Each structure stands twice: as structure tokens, then as C-alpha cells.
Amino acid sequence: MGNAWITDLRHFLTEDGSMEDMPKRARKLAEYFGRIVKGVTTRQRDDLATGVKCRKRFRHRPCPGEVIAFIDEQQSISWSCPVCKDNGMMSGWKGTIWDWSVNA
């Protein structure tokens, strides 16, 4: 079983919408979630691929999975890795620096 990450992306951002000053670890996580949002909002095809490599590592090797994601009925982005099952939900992504959708 992977961890379920419930994230509100606004927590990573300042009031003017740029990234908060935060420790490297938190920043890397924010950037990872941001890449998933960008992957979802820029993809052309109607499938689940995001082009984002899973961030998990096992025995010092990166997980070979690629994150899949979709926008659910609550307008949250639900994402998961098909290989290690790491997964989570993101809210608060609309209109952020990572949102590339035309309605942003």
C-alpha cells in the first residue's frame, strides 16, 4: 500500500501566487505536485498519462512508474502511480502557477 497524500496546493504558495520559501524537501514535493497539475492541464490526449515520473525510491532505485491522474467530480486532481500505488488528491490547484488550462 502506498501513502495517500491529501494536498491543498495553495498551502505551498504565497498570496501573490509564487512559491513559499520552504525547506528543500517541501519544495521538491511542491514541485512534484506542480508537475502533475501541469501534466493534467497541458495534455492533449484524453488519457490518464501525465509524463511525470514517480518520486518514490525503493532500495535506492527510483520507482519505474509514471504518474497517472484525472480531475474528479469535486474538481480535485486524483493521482496515483500504477507501479507502487503511491497516490493522493490535490485541491486548490486551479489558477496556480502550475495550472495551464485555458480557463485559468
Q: How many chain residues are in contact with Zn ion, going by CB under 5 A?
A: 7
Region near Zn ion per CB under 5 A, out of 7-15, 22-30, 37-45, 57-65: 57-65
**CB-CB neighbours of 61 under 10 Å:** 8
Which amino acid, one-letter code, is at 33? F
- For residue 59, the 8-state DSSP code is T
Q: Note whether 84 binds Zn ion by CB under 5 A.
A: yes
Pattern 11-50, binding to Zn ion, x per CB under 5 A? ----------------------------------------
Q: Note whether 54 binds Zn ion by CB under 5 A.
A: yes
Contact 84, 65 (CB under 8 A): yes
Q: Are strands 87-91 and 4-8 parallel, antiparallel or unpaired?
A: parallel
- The C-alpha cell of 96 is what? 496556480
CA atoms of 61 and 77, how far apart (whole Å): 27
Q: Note whether 67 binds Zn ion by CB under 5 A.
A: no
Residue written as cell 512534484? 32
Contact pick of 13, 37, 68, 81 for Zn ion (by CB under 5 A):
81
Contact pick of 65, 69, 76, 80 for Zn ion (by CB under 5 A):
65
Q: Which residues bind Zn ion (CB under 5 A)?
A: 54, 56, 63, 65, 81, 83-84
